[in-house]
Amino acid sequence: MGLAAAYQAAKDGHAVEVVESGPVAGGMAAHVDFDGLSIERFYHFVCRADHATFQLLDDLGMRDILRWVPTSMGFYFGGKLHPWGDPVSLLRLPGVSLLTKLRYGALAFISTRRDRWDALENVSAKDWIRRWCGEEGYEKFWQPLLDYKFYDYADVIGARWIWNRIQRLGRSRQSIMQEQLGYLEGGSETLVRALVDAIDTLGGTVRLNAAVKRITSEAGRVTGVETATGHVAADAVISTVPVQQIPTLAPDLPADWLEKYAAIHSIGVCCVLFKLRRSVSPHFWVNISDPTLVIPGIIEFSNLRPLPHTIVYLPYYMPVSNPKFSWPDEQLQRDAWLCVKKMNPSLTEDDVLGVRVSRLRYAQPICEAGFAAKIPPVQTPIAGLQIADTCFYYPEDRGIAESVKLGRQMARNVTSAGERA
């Protein structure tokens, strides 16, 4: 989001400086060196509805790096891996009544085709799903996913947020029987580098390892940011850090605004990444409904983007207060390997070529029922200061397209405000 905002602002003629706390640009889209393989810290994919991504690629002259691939989903249920994501797989799934399957299918069908569903804003996903799918449908298809993604927040997650996720994936299909997802040649790093290069070409700067200590202001107008390496003066500041950090970074904001940011909650993630000799499954994504596997799913990224080895992500979402969030990497890796082995018992330790863990404290916003009313305006009471993070995409979920769309809009807001002044 920050890079997209900076790129748009530079295009609009502003002098731009990106202040990045980490050693590389890109935020959650950044890559890591995984034993010689450049790969995303956290997996990304492209859907057919990601128009903001397509527009940015066109602007940068690199639409040709986008590749579309027929993909499939799996469902680990009843101790076995089943195909998933199409009507035939749903009807063939054992251990679930026909009525529940039909109700589940009706929910997926209607959710995919509705453009808006504002009536869901103040309804919990739990109540909404139980109303459509019944108790059996909720317990077998949805409850494990929500429990191991949101823990204590599982019962309050909003229906509108869940509906949007169903719609986005449901619309990324070639047909009712075939899912189709996209990836960027070279990974998301290709886009990150292109944005950094474009910002540089337009006269901007990307400063790394420069964590912001405070957003400064005077007489109700922003004046810049104080960093570990000095003060950066600015007429306008766009903040894309997690809003939970804003009370510390922007104490000059009114108290009621700081309370709004503090009231928005997120959970963290420990993402275990395996490099394997052999495939775990034929699917890109496997949803899990099994009480012995405490993760919502497994993502076999190499079933989307061609890579020299099998690459598998196992995301452990949880509140950072959960003891498991502080487990040593080795303990998480052992636990994740047991999950992989349960999914595919034929794999052995000799198949493991590498493993690493990436952690993020503010990974997933908690978008509960009525969440729209909790989000403050992007423009703050301090003139020239805009603040947003991934929860501002609501009801959309985190993604490159949503980041690009909001980042560019915030940059355009700066230009519009200047023109009005």
Q: Is residue 241 part of a domain?
A: yes
Give the total number of structural domains in the chain: 3
Q: Is residue 49 part of a domain?
A: no
Are residues 75 and 141 both part of a single domain?
Answer: yes
Q: Is residue 54 part of a domain?
A: no
Cα separation, 97 vs 137, in Å, equals 9
pLDDT at 361: 95
Question: Token pair 């989903």 is at which residue?
Answer: 73
Are residues 246 and 395 both part of a single domain?
Answer: yes
Are residues 157 and 99 both part of a single domain?
Answer: yes
pLDDT at 232: 96
pLDDT at 421: 42
Are residues 79 and 167 both part of a single domain?
Answer: yes
Model confidence, pTM = 0.94
CA angle, corner 89, sides to 109 and 124, nearest 5? 45
For 17, the token pair is 């400086």
Spatial neighbors of 5 by CB under 8 A, at least 6 apart, are 238, 240, 407, 408, 410, 411
Question: Token pair 């195909």 is at which residue?
Answer: 83
Are residues 383 and 372 both part of a single domain?
Answer: yes
pLDDT at 173: 84
Give the CATH number of the domain where residue 13 resides.
3.50.50.60
Domain boundary among 179, 202, 231: 179
3-state secondary structure of 297: strand
Are residues 315 and 194 both part of a single domain?
Answer: no
Q: Is residue 380 part of a domain?
A: yes
pLDDT (tens digit, 9 = 90+) per residue, 68-112?
999 999 999 999 999 999 999 999 999 999 999 999 999 999 999
**Is 60 exceeded by the pLDDT of residue 164?**
yes
Domain boundary among 179, 213, 243: 179
pLDDT bucket at 417, cuts 50 / 70 / 90: low
Residue-range definition of the domain harbouring residue 320: 265-365
Other CB atoms within a 10 A radius of the CB of residue 250 amount to 26
Mean pLDDT for the stretch of residues 248-253:
96
pLDDT bucket at 398, cuts 50 / 70 / 90: confident
Are residues 103 and 168 both part of a single domain?
Answer: yes
Domain boundary among 130, 153, 179: 179
Are residues 357 and 373 both part of a single domain?
Answer: no
Task: Quote the mean pLDDT of the chain.
Answer: 94
pLDDT bucket at 415, cuts 50 / 70 / 90: confident
Amino acid at the residue 249: L
pLDDT (tens digit, 9 = 90+) per residue, 278-296?
999 999 999 999 888 888 9
Are residues 321 and 281 both part of a single domain?
Answer: yes
pLDDT at 177: 81
Are residues 222 and 271 both part of a single domain?
Answer: no
Amino acid at the residue 258: L
**Is 70 exceeded by the pLDDT of residue 420?**
no
Mean pLDDT for the stretch of residues 10-35:
94
Cα separation, 421 vs 414, in Å, equals 11
Amino acid at the residue 11: K
Percent of the chain with pLDDT over 90: 92
**Is 60 exceeded by the pLDDT of residue 188?**
yes
Question: Is 280:343 a contact under the CB 8 Å cutoff?
Answer: yes
Amino acid at the residue 112: T
